[in-house]
Amino acid sequence: MTQIRNIIIAVAILTSLSTQAMAASTSGSTNVSVRVPEFIVLHYFSTITLNFDTPNAQAIDEGTNDVDADWNGNANGNSLDASSLMNASLELDGNTTVTLNNVWAVRGFSTSGNARVEVSVPAGHDTMSNGDSKITMSNVKVSDGSQSGSSITTKLNGMSNATVGNIDMDLDFSNTTRSGNHTGAQYTITATTI
């Protein structure tokens, strides 16, 4: 019996020693980095139609007039002269500055966290027409609420929060003679990571 007990003790000691030998361990640390590509998304409208409110009609009293008439029904005398008529003051008289609110947006990633947004008018696309009636578009600018110009640097807010902006322009109605739709003008917005 003593011999069996000695064998059991020897097996227990050997098992204990071999378990400790197999439990050796080591560890290492890994540095993790992510390379984010430059990426930009531009949101815009491909067509915008400006619907102006109807201006108030006006009746302008040009004073008094003496007209000579004969018994045959012919009349002559002073008449209205286009160069001396009193002015009509309308909302669409001459130049009107228009702000198109929230018509573009950018989002994405850049090395600086910023983007350059610029607006241009392609050659020959600064005039809208309806027959011989014309509306000229000029002084087109892009703005983000804090700055305005033909080109601005604006903050990118990642992918989930877009930066939204406006377009400002002057419209000249001095050669507008018709009501109705005037077409043909265009502007181009370009967004670039910087």
Per-residue pLDDT tens digits for 39-77: 999 999 999 998 877 766 667 665 666 666 778 767 676
Is residue 21's pLDDT more than 90? no
d(CA 92, CA 174): 9
**How many other C-beta atoms can be found within 10 angstroms of the C-beta atom of residue 19?**
9
| 79-82-86-91 Cα dihedral, nearest 10 degrees | 140
Q: Provide the mean pLDDT of the chain.
A: 84
For the chain, give every domain's residue range: 39-50+91-193
Residues 6+ apart with CB under 8 A from 152: 116, 117, 118, 142, 143, 144
Q: Hey, which CATH number is domain 39-50+91-193, 2.60.40, 2.40.30, 1.10.150, 3.30.450?
A: 2.60.40
Per-residue pLDDT tens digits for 72-108: 767 676 666 666 555 555 555 678 889 999 999 999 9
